[in-house]
């Protein structure tokens, strides 16, 4: 018996503790492995697999049933069955029966023997060679080696023969069987052809559907996903898209973007899942995104490049999902334990702002096709003139959006100006002039009082020292009705409305085009008839940089229009009295500005020395600078002033903590801040104690929710780290187009014309004119609107000569005399004209602006043929087309442009193409197709130029180019 | 409830909390006989008994329980970065209490003519194998469990990619350097970041040569090492542990001070009206402009620093530290007092800053020389 061990502690108790601790450790380890193993995305992948199995099964069943219902297939199956029977009965069994097996076994054995003997032979040969090389000293050894070699060689030859014989015998047997079964093989091949679709689905099911697997595979399926073993090749694994050309900037190094979104969003690029529940649903627009043939294939763009978010995240929270609304946030919190990911600087764009992602790469483009909200946002920014106070690189050279105020006194009264500044929307509810005064941070009684005096000061400054605007007197009393007709027909409605837009009508880029200029309501209460007359006659004399073009109205027309516009009065407006100038109040304002640069004492002295007008003017100037009025309006004395707002070029990348949320309780995110700022620009002053001139001063544009969303989308798109590799290349052509689009937007070309299939905002107004003045029903009008509207400029670059376009834009002339609407004269600068010509050329991929000069020589034969084709007997061109002064018969809606202009206006190459197939160049044109594109060679008249269509077109084209305005009436040579 | 929180927030402002801690500290850890007598009279030593410990921990737990009901407090305390510091609080309280309890017990035993508990402990025999190894192994297992569970439950506190142009606000040093970072509030970087850490290390190396008191070797005692323990505890608890806790829980954005129940508002503004000693002398007292001459301007400051480091040791040697001087001899006494004065300068400057708004004693920004 060993002595009891000497112990300090009670060993049983220690054992107990040890056991418990070990078990706890074991559980901790199990917990650790389970925690590490169980991932959200695995559950999603499991669910997706179920969905995939289900979908594949349905597809398989469908394909199978389809196959079964095919008569051909059924017949084939029957045939096959019979053929198989015949085959088993009547054919040698190939490699299947006992005899064949015996033969094959013999053959295998012989083969093996041959290979082994060959190996021995090779070794013996080596021994013989080395023995011989060592020299003849040991002759006996060499002789023995030679003998062995020779013996083996003989043996090998015999074996070779045996192998060949055996092989031949086998082959013969097989051939006999094949020949006999040739028909069966052919039938089986056809069967496979039929079953191709089902087989593919079957194979897929075998791979993913445990129900369709055999036992071993099912076990293997389970085992490969077990913890730790799953390092090799698991079913459920993180899927990722690596984008080497879009680096993620980690400040000290750059790493490729890695998007693991597809780990859960497994059906994202598969049309089959377009109705599946999230996260498996397919992208709603696979034609544009993610598809292999789309512009943004998934393997090249991934997800986060456009959507933002944390691509490496593999669970709902760590992917930085962003809810679209507070309600969704709540839902997510409940469902996924969602919380904002504070430390990720680029959270996903909320759904409503998703188009912001487009801008980073498409920033150069004027309009981004498909991103309507973003385009609208940009248009609103352009129309509101955000870029004048806030520098935005994209709008560096854009003109001031507001009217010139240097000659204000000739246009409006001080009282009107006061009331307008105080509340622009009272007079014109849809104006783009924002409200500066009586806003959320300046509407307490004290501020209101100060506001009144500030407005007085601004008005005083604006009206002081205005140069005389030489106003010609109106030659005749205009007729209101006539004026109204002119306004509705001549083209005013491309940029203006008579009544403001109905608030129920959504703002679109098209409606915005008709807000290029102000609406006409109440115009008579604003300004005088004489001013209107002079403005209409020549807008550039009042403001050389105005966007308002000259419509070349005759004196008479201008007088009518002026009379009509002046008759649109708003007599309720302006009834209210303007509060009087309060000198003490003005003193306070002047003092505030003076004390910024001098002491209170000297400021006070200065104020005391100033006259009332001096004070008003002084304060006015300071206030114009303070509020930045000069940013939108040309104001004398502020020609070189810098804009007053923060730069917005990279606003979408501004860190959230640089945004002052003040005491306003909203989400601390960029979109929330932008939206709130746009809704009430002064809101972040809420709860702050500030002096009057420290207060926020961004004016209120009174945007509605849709407008705010659109502008916020654009702002979120103004980011600094665009993926360089993906930016739409800025080639010379693209730059020409960009510049052209910019000009088209500045001057609102699309108010009248369709350019790039977009625009023509005037068309509804043309329809209205047809109904009001031409006794046409609304339905009839709808059908002929395009005939009475400004032309669609599709293919303009291809169609007209550059020189002609340049001249025309500079000084338009009539091409379509039946149109009431007329191309106005813009005071384009020479470079703008060049840019526009280049723009149209670039749109049509015309590489050089000027074509080879058309020599115009025409053979008598051609002239003769051309004239015949032109005549009534054949194409009867003059039925619709104007030729010089000769108008066609019939109603004007069928008229077509003047041939006399063809020589100087059209490109000969274009005429050829046009004659060949007009619908191809201008879909929907009224021009008849004389040469059938489907059967071109047989389409022209057979009796001219031996029926050669190419020659006919050439002759007709040359003939047209020979037409001139002179002599009148006898251009088509009589036949 | 809200009023209580308001009160605690107000009390935890450094202007109030720091002097309070200083005041209480030297009664709890009494370096001199006179203070010890007061301690005894007040019964503060009872803290170092089992019952005292229970009360202490109950208070600590209750304080946390109460705090956790507040959103701001809970948010800061349960942040994965800060959880270890919460653990640190409990551990430090426990070990300080435990060692002090043993020290007081030993003192009582010695006073009663006995020997310290450690003397008896050493008679007991614990076998390395198997007893010690066994319990160590069990401890190892339990620690492993703790670490595993911790790593499962709390996520690693990772933040956004480091960006040299954007510094986080607040930017905090690792927890063990928060004491140093707090010193930066009171001293220039060259002192707080270079001089002091060096002196701290040298000072710790010097301890065995300065403290030659053989009493307390191998056992806990307070009575025989009052001065040494109090000084150590002062550094350890107030200048190190307390500053780390403050840096972790009470320093928010812009390194502003926040009460435990206050939300960390990035826009909080604090009054910054600190002045230098020279400004106090010339502008406030003498109603004069600051002299152009730097030396003249900072004369007062230099005088104070000279008196503090030059004259103070001599005065102390004659008065308060008479015994110390006698025990250490002039050379070691000089090193001891200089080290001591240097380290005392931190709380002095904290008090000057918090209570008298004095920023620098000597302020020569022209040469980046500020003390």
Q: What is the mean pLDDT of residues A235-263?
A: 90
Of A8, A22, A250, nearest to B125 by CB-CB distance is A8
Q: CB within 8 A of A129, min separation 6: which ones?
A: none
Antiparallel, parallel or unpaired: β A296-297 and A289-290: parallel
B126 touches chain A (CB under 8 A): yes
Cα-based angle B308, B309, B315 (whole degrees, multiple of 5): 70
Q: Which of A745, A747, A912, A725 is nearest to A375 (CA)?
A: A745
A–B: how many Cβ contacts below 8 A?
64
Q: What is the pLDDT of residues B268-290, one digit of tens each?
A: 888 888 888 888 888 888 888 88
Question: What is the sign, positive or negative, of the torsion defined by CA atoms of B68, B72, B73, B74?
Answer: positive
What are the tokens at A184?
A: 């069966």
B142 touches chain A (CB under 8 A): yes
Q: Give residue A966's pLDDT.
A: 54
Q: What is the mean pLDDT of residues A88-115?
A: 80
Q: CB within 8 A of A718, min separation 6: which ones?
A: A359, A392, A648, A649, A650, A651, A652, A653
Of B124, B138, B166, nearest to A18 by CB-CB distance is B138
B135 touches chain A (CB under 8 A): yes
Residue A249 parent element (H or E):
strand A241-249
Whether residues B112 and B130 share a domain: the answer is no
Q: Across the strands, what pairs with A242? A: A258
Whether residues B51 and B142 share a domain: the answer is no
Q: Give residue A788's pLDDT.
A: 86
B137 touches chain A (CB under 8 A): yes
Does residue A623 contact residue A487 with C-beta atoms inside 8 Å? no
Looking at every residue in chain A, the average pLDDT score rounds to 87
Whether residues B132 and B107 share a domain: the answer is no
Q: What is the pLDDT of residues A917-964, one digit of tens each?
A: 888 888 778 888 888 777 777 777 777 777 777 888 888 888 888 777
> Helix, strand or coil for residue A642?
coil
In chain A, the residue whose alpha carbon lies closest to the alpha carbon of B164 is A251
Chain B interface disruption, residue of A28, A35, A38, A320, most B CBs within 10 A: A28
Q: Per the domain annotation, does B260 fall within a domain?
A: yes
Which chain A residues are closer than 8 Å to B163 by Cβ? 251
Q: Per the domain annotation, does B355 fall within a domain?
A: no
Q: With b meaning 16 or more CB within 10 Å and e meaning fewer, what string describes A476-515? A: eebeeebbbbbbbbbbbbbbbbbebbeeeeebebbbbbbb
Task: With a cut of 90, say whether residue A500 has pLDDT above it.
Answer: no
Please give the share of chain B, as a percent, with pLDDT higher than 90: 42
Does residue A347 contact residue A719 with C-beta atoms inside 8 Å? no
Q: Across the strands, what pairs with A257? A: A243
What are the tokens at A720?
A: 């600094």
Q: What is the mean pLDDT of residues B83-97?
A: 94
Whether residues B103 and B140 share a domain: the answer is no
Residue count of chain A, please give it.
Answer: 975
CB contact (8 A) between residue B149 and residue A25? no
Task: With a cut of 60, say whether residue A974 has pLDDT above it.
Answer: no
Q: Give residue A873's pLDDT.
A: 79
Task: With a cut of 90, say whether residue B1 has pLDDT above it.
Answer: no
Q: Give residue A94's pLDDT.
A: 56
- For chain A, the C-alpha Rg in angstroms (whole number) is 43
Could you report the predicted ipTM of this complex, rounded to two decimals? 0.84
CB contact (8 A) between residue B148 and residue A29? yes
Whether residues B108 and B236 share a domain: the answer is yes
Of A17, A35, A655, nearest to B152 by CB-CB distance is A35
Separation of alpha carbons A946 and A949, rounded Å: 9
Q: Give residue A1's pLDDT.
A: 46
Q: Give residue A975's pLDDT.
A: 37
- Beta-sheet strands, E only, within chain B: 363-364, 369-370
Angle between helices A732-746 and A830-843 (to 10 degrees): 120
Q: What is the pLDDT of residues B113-160, one digit of tens each?
A: 888 888 888 787 778 888 889 999 999 999 999 999 999 999 888 887
pLDDT-derived band at A345 (thresholds 50, 70, 90) equals confident
CB contact (8 A) between residue B163 and residue A251? yes
Chain A interface disruption, residue of B139, B147, B148, B266, most A CBs within 10 A: B148
Task: With a cut of 70, say whether residue A136 has pLDDT above it.
Answer: no
Which chain B residues are closer than 8 Å to A32 by Cβ? 148, 151-152
Q: Per the domain annotation, does B135 fall within a domain?
A: yes
Quickly count: other Cβ atoms within 10 Å of residue A751's Cβ: 25
Whether residues B13 and B150 share a domain: the answer is no
CB contact (8 A) between residue A18 and residue B137? yes
Burial level of B217, CB count in 10 A (0-12/13-18/19+)? exposed
pLDDT-derived band at A109 (thresholds 50, 70, 90) equals very high
CA distance A32 to chain B (A): 7
Q: What is the mean pLDDT of residues B55-60?
A: 94
What are the tokens at B136?
A: 């160590």
CA dist A820 → A8, A264, A486, A539, A552 (Å): 115, 61, 9, 21, 13
| Lowest mean pLDDT, pick from A180-189, A961-970, B251-260 | A961-970
What percentage of chain A's residues is helix, strand, coil (to nearest 5)? 55, 5, 40
Does residue A205 contact residue A60 with C-beta atoms inside 8 Å? yes
Q: For residue A158, how far is the Cα from the chain centroid? A: 79
Whether residues B70 and B146 share a domain: the answer is no
Q: Per the domain annotation, does B324 fall within a domain?
A: no
Which chain B residues are closer than 8 Å to A8 by Cβ? 124-127, 131
Which chain A residues are closer than 8 Å to B266 by Cβ? 657
DSSP A705-729: HHHHHHHHHHHHH--S---GGGSPP
CB contact (8 A) between residue A25 and residue B159? no
CA distance A910 to chain B (A): 58
What are the tokens at A970?
A: 């006898």
Does residue A256 contact residue A242 with C-beta atoms inside 8 Å? yes
Separation of alpha carbons A297 and A726, rounded Å: 12
Q: What is the mean pLDDT of residues A639-661?
A: 89
The region that residue A287 occupies, defined by phi over 0 for left and psi between -120 and 50 for alpha, beta otherwise, is: alpha
Which chain B residues are closer than 8 Å to A28 by Cβ? 144-145, 148-149
Which chain A residues are closer than 8 Å to B81 by Cβ? none
Greater pLDDT, A972 or B55: B55
Cα-based angle A483, A421, A686 (whole degrees, multiple of 5): 140
Task: With a cut of 60, say whether residue B23 has pLDDT above it.
Answer: yes
> Helix, strand or coil for residue A886?
strand
Q: Give residue A120's pLDDT.
A: 93
Of A28, A249, A655, nearest to B149 by CB-CB distance is A28
- The domain in which residue B22 lies consists of 1-116+219-270
Separation of alpha carbons A667 and A712, rounded Å: 15
Task: With a cut of 50, say whether residue A180 has pLDDT above it.
Answer: yes
Separation of alpha carbons B182 and B193, rounded Å: 10
| Lowest mean pLDDT, pick from A264-273, A648-657, A848-857 | A848-857
Phi, psi at residue A193, to the nearest 5°?
-55, -45
Q: Per the domain annotation, does B182 fall within a domain?
A: no
Whether residues B25 and B74 share a domain: the answer is yes
Task: With a cut of 80, say whether residue A217 has pLDDT above it.
Answer: yes
CA distance B297 to chain A (A): 31
Whether residues B34 and B143 share a domain: the answer is no
Chain B interface disruption, residue of A21, A258, A657, most B CBs within 10 A: A21
Task: With a cut of 80, say whether residue A968 has pLDDT above it.
Answer: no
Q: Give residue B290's pLDDT.
A: 86
Does residue A299 contact residue A257 with C-beta atoms inside 8 Å? no
CB contact (8 A) between residue B148 and residue A28? yes
CB contact (8 A) between residue B142 and residue A251? no
pLDDT-derived band at A969 (thresholds 50, 70, 90) equals very low
The structure tokens 């870029």 sit at: A387
B149 touches chain A (CB under 8 A): yes
CB contact (8 A) between residue A17 and residue B138? yes
Task: With a cut of 60, say whether residue A310 has pLDDT above it.
Answer: yes
CB contact (8 A) between residue B160 and residue A17? no
CA dist B109 → A239, B32, B102, B114, B117 (Å): 71, 21, 10, 5, 8
Q: Per the domain annotation, does B22 fall within a domain?
A: yes
> Helix, strand or coil for residue B251?
strand
In chain B, the residue whose alpha carbon lies closest to the alpha carbon of A17 is B138
CB contact (8 A) between residue B135 and residue A14? yes
Which chain B residues are closer than 8 Å to A14 by Cβ? 131, 134-135, 138
Burial level of A370, CB count in 10 A (0-12/13-18/19+)? middle
pLDDT-derived band at A560 (thresholds 50, 70, 90) equals very high
Whether residues B94 and B150 share a domain: the answer is no
Please give the share of chain A, as a percent, with pLDDT higher than 90: 35
Q: Give residue A335's pLDDT.
A: 92
Q: Per the domain annotation, does B230 fall within a domain?
A: yes
CB contact (8 A) between residue B138 and residue A14? yes
The structure tokens 């306070």 sit at: A588
Whether residues B10 and B104 share a domain: the answer is yes
Which chain A residues are closer than 8 Å to B138 by Cβ? 14, 17-18, 21
Q: What is the pLDDT of residues A252-298, one digit of tens each?
A: 888 999 999 999 999 999 888 988 888 899 999 898 998 888 889 99
CB contact (8 A) between residue A21 and residue B145? yes
Angle between helices A139-180 and A98-133 (to 10 degrees): 160
Separation of alpha carbons A671 and A651, rounded Å: 11
Residue A476 per-residue DSSP state: S
Chain A interface disruption, residue of B129, B160, B168, B170, most A CBs within 10 A: B160
B271 touches chain A (CB under 8 A): no
| Lowest mean pLDDT, pick from A152-156, A900-904, B68-72 | A900-904
Q: CB within 8 A of B113, min separation 6: which ones?
A: none
CB contact (8 A) between residue B126 and residue A8? yes
CA dist A790 → A519, A784, A797, A810, A838 (Å): 21, 12, 17, 17, 21
Angle between helices B14-28 and B2-11 (to 10 degrees): 70
Task: With a cut of 90, say whether residue A471 has pLDDT above it.
Answer: no
CB contact (8 A) between residue B134 and residue A6? no
Q: Give residue A713's pLDDT.
A: 95
Q: What is the pLDDT of residues A407-465, one digit of tens each?
A: 888 888 899 999 999 999 888 888 899 999 999 999 899 999 999 999 999 999 999 87
Q: Per the domain annotation, does B2 fall within a domain?
A: yes
CA distance A252 to chain B (A): 8
Q: What is the mean pLDDT of residues A762-779?
A: 87
pLDDT-derived band at A970 (thresholds 50, 70, 90) equals very low
What are the tokens at A81?
A: 């069955």
Burial level of A135, CB count in 10 A (0-12/13-18/19+)? exposed
B163 touches chain A (CB under 8 A): yes
Q: What is the pLDDT of residues A563-617, one digit of tens each?
A: 999 998 887 777 788 888 888 889 999 999 999 889 999 999 999 999 988 999 9
3-state helix/strand/coil string of B260-290: CCCCCCCCCCCCCCCECHHHHHHHHHCCCCC
Whether residues B66 and B107 share a domain: the answer is yes
Our count of domains for chain B comes to 2
Does residue A82 contact residue A268 with C-beta atoms inside 8 Å? no
In chain B, the residue whose alpha carbon lies closest to the alpha carbon of A26 is B145
């Amino acid at each position: 018996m060993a002595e009891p061990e000497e112990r300090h502690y009670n060993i049983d108790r220690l054992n107990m503790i040890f056991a418990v601790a070990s078990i706890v450790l074991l559980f901790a380890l199990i917990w650790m492995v389970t925690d590490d193993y169980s991932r959200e995305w695995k559950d999603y992948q499991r669910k997706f697999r179920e969905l995939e199995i289900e979908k594949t099964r349905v597809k398989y069943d469908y394909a199978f049933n389809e196959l079964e219902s095919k008569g051909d297939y059924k017949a084939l199956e029957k045939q096959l069955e019979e053929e198989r029977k015949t085959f088993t009965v009547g054919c040698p069994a190939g490699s299947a029966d006992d005899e064949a097996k015996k033969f094959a076994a013999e053959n295998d054995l012989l083969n093996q023997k041959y290979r082994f003997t060959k190996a021995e032979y090779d070794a013996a040969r080596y021994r013989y060679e080395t023995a011989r090389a060592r020299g003849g000293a040991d002759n006996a050894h060499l002789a023995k080696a030679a003998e062995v070699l020779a013996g083996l060689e003989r043996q090998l030859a015999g074996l070779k023969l045996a192998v060949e014989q055996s092989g031949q015998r086998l082959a013969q047997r097989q051939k006999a069987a094949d020949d006999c079964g040739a028909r069966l093989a052919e039938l089986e091949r056809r069967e496979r052809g039929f079953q191709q679709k089902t087989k593919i689905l079957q194979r897929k099911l075998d791979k993913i559907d445990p129900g369709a697997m055999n036992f071993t595979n099912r076990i293997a399926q389970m085992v490969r996903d077990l913890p730790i073993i799953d390092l090799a090749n698991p079913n459920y694994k993180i899927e990722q898209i690596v984008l080497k050309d879009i680096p993620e900037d980690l400040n000290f190094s750059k790493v490729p973007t890695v998007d693991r979104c597809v780990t859960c969003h497994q059906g994202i690029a598969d049309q089959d899942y377009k109705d599946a529940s999230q996260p498996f649903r397919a992208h709603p627009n696979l034609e544009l995104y993610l598809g292999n043939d789309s512009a943004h294939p998934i393997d090249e763009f991934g997800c986060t490049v456009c959507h933002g978010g944390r691509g490496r995240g593999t669970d709902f929270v760590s992917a930085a999902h962003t809810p679209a609304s507070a309600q969704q946030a709540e839902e997510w919190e409940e469902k996924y334990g969602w919380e904002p990911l504070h430390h990720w600087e680029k959270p996903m764009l909320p759904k409503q702002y998703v188009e912001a992602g487009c801008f980073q790469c498409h920033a150069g483009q004027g309009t981004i096709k498909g991103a309507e909200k973003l385009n609208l946002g940009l248009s609103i920014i352009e129309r509101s003139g955000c870029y004048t106070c806030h520098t935005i690189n994209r709008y560096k050279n854009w003109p001031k959006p507001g009217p010139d105020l240097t000659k204000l006194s000739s246009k409006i009264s001080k009282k009107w100006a006061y009331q307008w500044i105080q509340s622009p929307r009272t007079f014109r509810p849809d104006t783009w002039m924002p409200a500066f005064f009586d806003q959320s941070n300046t509407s307490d009684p004290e501020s209101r009082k100060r506001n009144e005096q500030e407005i007085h000061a601004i008005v005083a400054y604006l009206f002081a020292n205005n140069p005389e605007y030489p106003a010609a007197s109106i030659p005749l009393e205009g007729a209101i009705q006539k004026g109204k007709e002119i306004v509705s027909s001549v083209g005013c409605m491309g940029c203006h409305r008579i009544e403001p837009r109905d608030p129920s009508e959504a703002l679109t880029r098209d409606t915005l085009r008709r807000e290029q200029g102000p609406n006409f309501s109440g115009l008579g209460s604003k300004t005088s008839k004489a001013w209107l007359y002079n403005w209409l006659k020549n807008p550039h004399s009042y403001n050389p940089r105005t966007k308002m073009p000259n419509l070349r109205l005759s004196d008479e027309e201008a007088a009518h229009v002026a009379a009509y516009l002046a008759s649109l009065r708003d007599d309720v407006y302006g009834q209210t009295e303007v509060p009087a100038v309060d000198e003490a109040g003005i003193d306070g304002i002047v003092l505030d500005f003076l004390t910024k640069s001098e002491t209170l004492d000297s400021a006070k002295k200065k104020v005391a020395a100033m006259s009332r007008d001096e004070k008003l003017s002084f304060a006015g100037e300071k206030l114009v600078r303070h509020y930045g009025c000069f940013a939108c309006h040309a104001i004398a004395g502020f020609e070189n002033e810098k804009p007053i707002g923060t730069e917005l070029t990279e606003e979408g990348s501004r860190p959230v903590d640089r945004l002052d949320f003040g005491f306003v309780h909203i989400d601390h995110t960029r979109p929330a801040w932008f939206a709130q700022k746009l809704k009430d620009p002064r809101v972040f002053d809420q709860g702050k104690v500030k002096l009057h001139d420290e207060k926020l001063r961004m004016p209120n544009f009174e945007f509605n929710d849709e407008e705010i969303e659109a502008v916020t989308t654009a702002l979120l798109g103004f980011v600094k780290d665009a993926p360089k590799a993906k930016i739409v290349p800025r080639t010379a052509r693209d730059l020409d187009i960009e510049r052209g689009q910019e000009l088209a937007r500045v001057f609102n070309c699309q108010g009248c014309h369709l350019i790039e299939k977009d625009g023509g905002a005037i068309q509804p107004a043309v329809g209205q004119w047809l109904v009001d003045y031409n006794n046409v029903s609304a339905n009839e009008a709808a059908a002929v609107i395009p005939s009475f509207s400004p032309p669609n400029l599709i293919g303009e670059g291809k169609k007209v000569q550059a020189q002609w376009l340049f001249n025309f834009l500079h000084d338009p002339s009539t091409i379509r005399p039946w149109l009431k609407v007329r191309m106005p004269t813009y005071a384009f600068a020479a470079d703008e004209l060049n840019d526009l010509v280049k723009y149209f050329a670039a749109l049509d991929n015309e590489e050089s602006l000027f074509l080879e000069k058309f020599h115009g020589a025409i053979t008598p034969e051609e002239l003769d043929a051309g004239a015949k084709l032109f005549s009534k007997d054949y194409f009867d061109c003059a039925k619709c087309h104007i030729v010089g002064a000769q108008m066609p018969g019939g109603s004007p809606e069928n008229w077509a442009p003047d041939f006399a202009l063809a020589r100087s206006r059209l490109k000969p190459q274009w005429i050829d193409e046009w004659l060949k197939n007009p619908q191809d160049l201008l879909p929907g044109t009224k021009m008849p197709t004389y040469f059938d594109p489907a059967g071109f060679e047989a389409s022209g008249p057979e009796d001219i130029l031996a029926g050669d269509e190419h020659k006919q077109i050439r002759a007709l084209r040359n003939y047209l180019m020979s037409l001139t305005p002179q002599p009148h009436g006898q251009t088509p040579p009589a036949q | 409830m809200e009023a209580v929180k308001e009160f605690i927030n107000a009390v935890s402002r450094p202007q109030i909390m720091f002097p309070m801690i200083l005041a209480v500290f030297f009664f709890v850890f009494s370096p001199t006989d006179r203070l010890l007598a007061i301690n005894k009279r007040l019964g503060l030593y009872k803290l170092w008994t089992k019952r005292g410990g229970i009360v202490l921990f109950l208070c600590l737990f209750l304080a946390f329980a109460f705090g956790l009901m507040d959103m701001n407090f809970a948010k800061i305390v349960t942040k994965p970065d800060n959880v270890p510091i919460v653990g640190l609080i409990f551990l430090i309280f426990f070990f300080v209490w435990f060692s002090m309890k043993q020290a007081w017990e030993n003192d009582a035993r010695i006073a009663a003519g006995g020997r310290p508990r450690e003397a008896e402990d050493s008679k007991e025999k614990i076998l390395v194998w198997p007893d010690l190894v066994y319990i160590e192994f069990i401890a190892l297992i339990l620690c492993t469990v703790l670490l595993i569970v911790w790593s499962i439950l709390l996520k690693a506190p990772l933040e956004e990619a480091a960006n040299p142009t954007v510094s986080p606000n607040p930017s905090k040093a690792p927890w063990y350097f928060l004491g140093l970072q707090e010193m930066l509030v009171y001293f220039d970087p060259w002192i707080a970041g270079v001089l002091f850490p060096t002196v701290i290390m040298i000072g710790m190396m010097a301890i065995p040569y300065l403290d030659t008191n053989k009493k307390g070797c191998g056992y806990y005692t307070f009575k025989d090492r009052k001065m040494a323990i109090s000084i150590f505890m002062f550094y350890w608890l107030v200048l190190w542990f307390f500053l780390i806790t403050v840096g972790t829980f009470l320093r928010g954005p812009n390194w502003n001070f926040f009460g435990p129940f206050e939300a960390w508002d990035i826009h909080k503004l604090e009054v910054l009206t600190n002045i230098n000693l020279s400004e106090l002398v010339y502008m406030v007292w003498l109603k004069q402009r600051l002299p152009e001459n730097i030396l003249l301007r900072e004369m007062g400051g230099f005088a104070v620093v000279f008196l503090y480091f030059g004259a103070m040791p001599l005065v102390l040697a004659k008065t308060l530290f008479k015994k110390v001087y006698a025990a250490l001899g002039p050379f070691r006494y000089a090193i001891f007092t200089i080290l001591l004065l240097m380290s005392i300068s931190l709380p002095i400057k904290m008090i000057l800053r918090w209570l008298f708004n004095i920023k620098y004693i000597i302020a020569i920004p022209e040469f980046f020389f500020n003390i």
